[in-house]
Amino acid sequence: MGLPILADDGLADTAYETHGAGAQKNRQQSHQMPGAAPHDEEKKQVQHNLAGVGRVIGVHSGKGGVGKTFVAVNIAFALAKMGKKVGLLDADIDCPNVVRFLNLRDMQLSGTKEGRISPIEYKQVKIISSHFLSDAPNEPMIIRGPIKHKVLAELLANVEWGDLDVLVYDLPPGTSDVPLSSFLIGNLTGLVVVTTPQKEAIMDAKKSVLMAKEMQVPVLGIIENMSGDVFGEGAGRRLAEELNTPYLGSIPLSKKIREMNQDAKIALSTQEFGQPALLAAVLGKQPETLLAQSWWRKLRS
Ligand SMILES: Nc1ncnc2c1ncn2[C@@H]1O[C@H](COP(=O)(O)OP(=O)(O)OP(=O)(O)O)[C@@H](O)[C@H]1O
Ligand SMILES: [Mg+2]
């Protein structure tokens, strides 16, 4: 039996075989939603909208709370500090956290003359989040998968990103709904998988890698977050070896990082988050190339 993919129509819950007879048909049907534009069309619109974007990077894990938003935010601001043109899409539609992380609650979106959405800009990073689309961002957004898909598709196809070197998606956990939609229509160049050292996180990070392979999205590598005495260390590296995937380094579980996150400070300029392998993977370069450059020393200072 192959990996089960559940129908994403908000009603059906049939599991489909992904291998064997009829699997291809099942796979296509399982990704289609009644009433929604066919994914091919959505994909085309997203490709068109992201024509000026060099690399589109998803930050993901099957597990919640492992530091995906922390890593996504810090990748974005590290790249901006390097002089790259960067966008950050908070793809966590119902529980968006990027705005909280950066304390941008009071910022307002504006539209363009053509009726498209302009991202907000903070410290040279263009940012969009469903937080800004909601009239009551502190109230729970109680919606089913197909609605989340539509909001994501809208953000992917209608936000005016312009020319960017890198667009980072902060993905929610799990292997359905928004991660699935992002894999299908998000035009992803590659995926960074975040895990913590605990067994449950490793198990779900593995699902993230296997899902990406199934969906033919390249896995750029695995990063171990919250590494150290409390949760242990090394399991992320072992998982990377087991899955024959690059290992992008570890970030310690640290009071300083927690406090910086709470205070909406970007941690990447600190020693705790100087991650050459991670940033190199995001840029599609070798870490040595980055380390040789002068801005790297600036970033680490
Ligand atoms: N290395 C670290 N040291 C200390 N605190 C951390 C570290 N990494 C993340 N945190 C904190 O852990 C919490 C969870 O992080 P974060 O929100 O980034 O996880 P997530 O995987 O995005 O969660 P979700 O699945 O809900 O989207 C946050 O409060 C964050 O500040
Ligand atoms: Mg998050």
> Between vectors from CA 216 to CA 73 and to CA 60, what angle results, nearest 5°?
25
Residue 8 lies in a domain: no
pLDDT at 36: 47
Q: Whose CA is nearest to atom 6 of ligand 1?
A: 258
Q: How is residue 115 written in tokens?
A: 């009726």
Give strand pairing partners of 53. 164
pTM passes above 0.85: yes
Mean pLDDT to the nearest integer, 147-157: 94
Residue 133 lies in a domain: yes
Does the beta carbon of 261 lie inside 6 Å of ligand 1?
Answer: yes
pLDDT tens-digit series, residues 35-84: 444 688 999 999 999 999 999 999 999 999 999 999 999 999 889 888 89
Atom nearest to 72 CA in ligand 1 = 18
Residue 12 lies in a domain: no
Residue 197 lies in a domain: yes
Range of the domain at 209: 39-300
Q: Which range, of 31-40, 136-145, 238-247, 286-295, averages the lowest pLDDT?
A: 31-40
Atom nearest to 73 CA in ligand 1 = 18
pLDDT at 101: 86
Looking at all shown ligands, the one closest to residue 71's CA atom is 1
* Number of domain units in the chain: 1
Write down the H helix ranges in 37-97. 39-49, 68-81
Does the beta carbon of 253 lie inside 6 Å of ligand 1?
Answer: yes
Residue 14 lies in a domain: no
**CATH number of the domain encompassing residue 207:** 3.40.50.300
pLDDT at 182: 97
Residue 60 φ then ψ, to 5°: -145, 160
Residue 92 lies in a domain: yes
Atom nearest to 92 CA in ligand 1 = 27
Give strand pairing partners of 266. none
Q: What's the gap in Å between 25 CA and the centre of ligand 1? A: 38
Does the beta carbon of 100 lie inside 6 Å of ligand 1?
Answer: no
Residue 283 lies in a domain: yes
DSSP 159-201: B---SEEEEEEEPPSSSSHHHHHHHHHS--SEEEEEE-SSHHH
Mutation to probe ligand 1, out of 60, 61, 63, 69 (largest number of atoms < 8 A from CB): 69
Residue 26 lies in a domain: no
